[in-house]
Amino acid sequence: MGYCDHLKNLLRPLGVYDLTPGSLSASELEALGQGLDKASEAIDYVEQEGSLPTASGLGLDRWESLFASAPVHYSTQLRREAIAALLRIGGDSFTLAAINDTISGCGIRALAQEKDRFGYIRVIFPEVAGIPEDFERIRTIILDIIPCHLEVEFYFRYLTWAECHAHGYTWAIVHQQEYTWHTFQLAV
């Protein structure tokens, strides 16, 4: 039910207005109802785009404009999660747990791990085999998030020989599947 019908239902009990189709009062209410419907649609759009959990277009663009670098765009949901992670960065984001809470602000799932040496961390991408797409931008965002006194090593996941043996891969299977060397490395 639009605003025109709502206005007519409000005025009908008064019995003063001629609400039959084509009458002056009905036409005036049609025009008012259409204007109110458009205003309601605009308000709904602003409400949707103004809230991070529901934003999908212009709202996400506006959120991303708040940061030095926009997250990589893999999907709308990952964009939302990346923006939320970037918004969590604060003055106390120097612990490993805080870094891992915010590091996915790069646009994909990333994980920081402490290394054996003090001041060194390794960043892995657990859901991506090989080098992630648009890695240079991802790298820039991650290095902006991680405190500058830490040295960062990026670690990329490829198929290992031990995994080949565990999965029972043979050269015959590799040739049968028509793997190239590159696609075989990513068959994790």
Per-position DSSP letters for 18-52, written without gaps between them: --STTSHHHHHHHHHHHHHHHHHHHHHHHHHHHST
pLDDT in tens, the chain (188 residues): 788 888 888 888 888 888 888 888 888 889 999 999 999 999 999 999 988 889 988 888 888 888 777 777 778 888 888 888 888 777 766 777 778 778 877 778 888 888 888 888 999 998 888 898 889 888 888 888 888 888 999 999 888 888 888 888 888 888 888 888 778 777 77
- The domain limits of the chain are 3-50, 72-157, 158-188
* CA–CA gap between residue 20 and residue 53 (Å, rounded): 44
Tokens of 54: 């529901």
Residue 41 is predicted with a pLDDT of 93
- Contact, 99 vs 71, CB < 8 A? no
Residue 34 is predicted with a pLDDT of 92
- Tokens 């791990």 -> residue: 113
* CA–CA gap between residue 57 and residue 141 (Å, rounded): 21
- Tokens 């409000």 -> residue: 10
* CA–CA gap between residue 123 and residue 132 (Å, rounded): 12
User: Which residues have C-beta within 8 Å of that of residue 107, sequence separation ≥ 6?
Assistant: 71, 72, 73, 74, 78, 79, 82, 138, 141
Residue 93 is predicted with a pLDDT of 64
pTM value > 0.75: no
Instruction: Please give the span between the terminal C-alpha atoms of the chain, in angstroms, as a whole number.
Output: 54
Residue 172 is predicted with a pLDDT of 85
Residue 92 is predicted with a pLDDT of 67
Q: What CATH number does domain 72-157 carry, 1.10.10, 3.90.1530, 3.30.1340, 1.20.140?
A: 3.30.1340
Residue 46 is predicted with a pLDDT of 92
